[in-house]
């Protein structure tokens, strides 16, 4: 398989995997996120396993996130080495926030299992850890993603013509909108799950989903690939 096609296919699959793992992970976190008494052990014992499975999904998400950046870097650096490295850095920062969030929820599970503190203390600790996870979700997937996956990646792909420019433009516009929405949530303008937040986030979702599907189905545009380094050089450097 042509090296460019292999990279585009790998990237597309990883992007789609980020969607599946992120959505399933949030769904599995339901018991700990929605029940303030979860840490006291009032929920069904099987709820602990759901939270642990959610953490495993987010570990897959972290691996897929970093994978997208590493798969794209050999191509993107031919457009702009600095911005390509910035995209990799943004993906890593996003993953750090995700990791802190999943560790916070796993700690809630441990507190529930051990029950070492008094009931009021457990409630405070448990809610504090859930709040910490909410902040990591806002600052990682809700803020950094707009800069990395939206603005940086969208701009690099728009300039390089590797994907249709109208599609890349959605990322260039949608990324900053998502980041600005994250700032608005930070200052209490509206909730992260509110209608305005969803509307400002929707373009970024459309951009990432369309990018994953396009790269799996078609790969990079041949005319744009021809303007980049030869496939032999790509293989050698990567």
Confidence band for 235, pLDDT divided at 50, 70 and 90: very low
In a domain, 233, yes or no: no
Buried b (16+ CB within 10 A) or exposed e, 45-82: eebbebbeebbebbbbbbebbbbbbbbbbbbbbbbbee
Structural domains of the chain, count: 1
User: So what's the pLDDT on residue 238?
Assistant: 42
CA atoms 26, 113, 126, 92: torsion sign:
negative
Name the token pair of 149.
């996956």
Nearest CA-CA partner of 199 in 218, 219, 213, 180: 180
Average pLDDT, the chain: 90
Q: How many residues does the chain have?
A: 238
Query: Half-sphere exposure of 42 toward its Cβ, with a 13 Å CA cutoff?
Result: 11
Q: Which residues contact 22 (CB under 8 A, 6 or more apart)?
A: 57, 58, 61, 141
Q: Which domain holds residue 192?
A: 3-226
Q: Which of 67, 62, 86, 87 is nearest to 11 (CA)?
A: 67
Residue 193: band (very low, low, confident or very high) from pLDDT cuts 50, 70, 90: confident
Residues 152-161, mean pLDDT to the nearest whole number: 94
Residue 231 has pLDDT above 60, yes or no: no
pLDDT band of residue 117 (cuts 50, 70, 90) is low
Under a CB-based contact definition with an 8 Å cutoff, are residues 203 and 168 in contact? Answer: no
Going by C-alpha positions, the residue among 36, 43, 33 that lies closest to residue 122 is 36
Q: Which residue, chain included where needed, has tokens 């890349």?
A: 168
Q: What 8-state DSSP symbol labels residue 35?
A: -
CB 208 within 8 A of CB 65: no
Specify whether the CB–CB gap between 53 and 28 falls below 8 A: yes
């Amino acid at each position: 398989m042509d090296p460019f096609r292999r990279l585009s296919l790998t990237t597309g699959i990883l992007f789609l995997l980020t969607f599946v793992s992120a959505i399933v992970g949030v769904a599995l976190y339901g018991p700990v996120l929605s029940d303030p008494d979860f840490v006291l052990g009032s929920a069904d014992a099987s709820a602990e396993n759901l939270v642990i499975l959610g953490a495993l999904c987010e570990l897959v998400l972290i691996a897929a996130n970093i994978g997208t950046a590493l798969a794209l870097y050999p191509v993107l650096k031919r457009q702009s080495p600095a911005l390509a490295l910035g995209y990799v850095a943004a993906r890593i920062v996003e993953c750090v926030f995700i990791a802190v969030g999943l560790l916070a929820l796993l700690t809630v599970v441990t507190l529930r299992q051990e029950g070492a503190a008094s009931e009021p203390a457990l409630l405070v600790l448990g809610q504090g850890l859930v709040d910490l996870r909410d902040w990591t979700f806002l600052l990682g997937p809700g803020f950094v993603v707009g800069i990395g996956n939206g603005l940086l990646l969208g701009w690099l792909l728009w300039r390089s013509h590797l994907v249709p420019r109208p599609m890349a433009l959605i990322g260039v516009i949608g990324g900053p909108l998502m980041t600005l929405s994250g700032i608005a949530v930070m200052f209490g303008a509206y909730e992260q799950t509110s209608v305005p937040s969803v509307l400002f986030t929707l373009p970024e979702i459309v951009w990432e989903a369309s990018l994953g599907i396009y790269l799996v189905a078609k790969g990079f545009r041949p005319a744009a690939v021809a303007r980049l380094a030869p496939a032999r050089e790509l293989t050698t450097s990567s």
